[in-house]
Amino acid sequence: MQYPSSKLPSVGTTIFTEMSQLAAQHNAINLSQGFPDFDGPLVLLDRVTYYLENGYNQYAPMTGVASLRNAIAVKCQRMYGCDLNPETEITVTSGATEALFAAISAVVKSGDEVIVFDPAYDSYEPAIELNGGRAVHIPLQAPDFAVNWQQVADAISDRTRMIIINTPHNPTGAVWDADDLQQLEALLKGTDILLLSDEVYEHICFEGEHQSLLRRPALAERAFVVSSFGKTYHTTGWKVGYCVAPEPLSREFRKLHQYLTFCTVHPVQLALADFINDYPEHYETLPDFYRAKRDYFNQQMADSRFSFTPVAGTYFQLMDYSAIQPDMTDLEFCHWLTREAGVAAIPVSVFYQQPPADQRLVRFCFAKDDSTLALAAEKLSEI
């Protein structure tokens, strides 16, 4: 029998799986994959148990339970001043990755182009390719990973269907400001170009307010805005996210969603709705929580041979290893670091179509207990 050729021939095992497996193999501290090593709030866990034990274990509504969609609408109004219709503009998904895939699949057709900014999260391009589109890569400008808006203007063509943005940005931790949104709005005026805004780290922004597209009606009317409860509530394994989009886009989005997962785990949705409503201070104080962890990790790394600038958002810190092993690629360095120092990181080059030849950056996750960060920093400072 001859099997069909791959629809994604350039895709293999993700770097996150690879490095986590290597960390386990060498009993290394895993600062590679982006998950906390601490649990979510006890009250939230107790609410899940309550709903598990009280019969909420069958299918949830396809679009998400009403109480959670309502809670999302209230939160978005409080934070971004936007009025959303939870019946027609909010869809709960089985993680942000599902939402990203559904949004791309809903609107990208054969021959369409989608602009992405490198380094780009690795799930974007496969979804674009599977739907017959082509990713147009625009490199962010080091060292602060800012957008060159003239490059964006030059890349737009009559085939441009969508631009994907990500702020706070994974893997660099860069954060867009209000001027970026103004530039984007001016650039798209009079066009039918759509936006996909990956805002899963919306509550982990250390410099000013998070610039959600929901703040600007002219951008929101053409946008899918995606977020993640796993990042906000330290529960990445639950895989619960959501997508906000105007009714015409949500209608198309839901056509894909219903055949991808149909619905998302019922008792967890109900528990999240309760917690969001009763404890808004959790997401309001999350920047301070993670700023303290960033600063603690960086302080512990001050005497190492890594160089770095504190990130403006997310729970990832980029570090330059040029003073340690300058002749190694970042992938080689991450393998060496896991084996020799007992700490796993992620090479930044994997997020690029064409990584800069002289760049020597790796990404560490600091969403860890302080004891984990201290031990990792001690090992990293010895090399």
Q: Report which of 240, 166, 239, 243 is spatially closest to residue 205, judged by C-alpha positions.
A: 166
- What is the Cα–Cα distance from 79 to 70, expressed in whole angstroms? 14
- What is the Cα–Cα distance from 355 to 353, expressed in whole angstroms? 6
pLDDT recorded at residue 10:
85
Tokens standing for residue 298: 């960086």
Digit-by-digit pLDDT tens for the chain (383 residues) are 999 999 999 888 888 889 999 999 999 999 999 999 999 999 999 999 999 999 999 999 999 999 999 999 999 999 999 999 999 999 999 999 999 999 999 999 999 999 999 999 999 999 999 999 999 999 999 899 999 999 999 999 999 999 999 999 999 999 999 999 999 999 999 999 999 999 999 999 998 899 999 999 999 999 999 999 999 999 999 999 999 999 999 999 999 999 999 999 999 999 999 999 999 999 999 999 999 999 999 999 999 999 999 999 999 999 999 999 999 999 999 999 999 999 999 999 999 999 999 999 999 999 999 999 999 999 999 99
Say what angle helices 15-25 and 330-340 make with each other, to 10 degrees: 20
Report field, pTM of the whole predicted structure over 0.85: yes
Tokens standing for residue 304: 């190492």
Q: Report which of 101, 131, 96, 139 is spatially closest to residue 113, judged by C-alpha positions.
A: 131
Are 26 and 338 in contact by the 8 Å Cβ rule? The answer is: yes
Q: Which helix (H) or strand (E) holds 180?
A: helix 178-188
pLDDT recorded at residue 338:
97
- What is the Cα–Cα distance from 275 to 283, expressed in whole angstroms? 10
Q: Which helix (H) or strand (E) holds 158?
A: none
- What is the Cα–Cα distance from 159 to 155, expressed in whole angstroms? 10
Determine if the peptide bond prior to 143 is cis (ω within 30°).
yes
pLDDT recorded at residue 13:
81
Say which CATH topology domain 15-40+282-381 has.
Aspartate Aminotransferase, domain 1 (3.90.1150)
Residue 80 CB partners (closer than 8 Å, separation 6+): 212, 214, 215
CATH class of 57-281: alpha beta
pLDDT recorded at residue 12:
82
Task: Tell me 81's DSSP state.
Answer: -
pLDDT recorded at residue 55:
96
Tokens standing for residue 289: 């929580």
Bridge-partner residues for 243, per DSSP? 91, 226
DSSP string of 266-334? HHHHHHHHHHHHH-THHHHHHHHHHHHHHHHHHHHTTTSS-B----SBSSEEEEE-TTT-TTS-HHHHH
Phi, psi (rounded to 5 degrees) for 242:
-160, 165
Strand ranges for 89-233 from DSSP E? 90-93, 113-118, 134-139, 160-166, 194-198, 223-228
Are 115 and 155 in contact by the 8 Å Cβ rule? The answer is: yes
Task: Tell me 57's DSSP state.
Answer: -
**Identity of residue 135:** A
- What is the Cα–Cα distance from 280 to 176, expressed in whole angstroms? 24
- What is the Cα–Cα distance from 344 to 359, expressed in whole angstroms? 19
DSSP string of 206-251? -SS----GGG-HHHHTTEEEEEEHHHHTT-GGG--EEEE--HHHHH
Domain ranges within the chain, ordered by starting residue: 15-40+282-381, 57-281
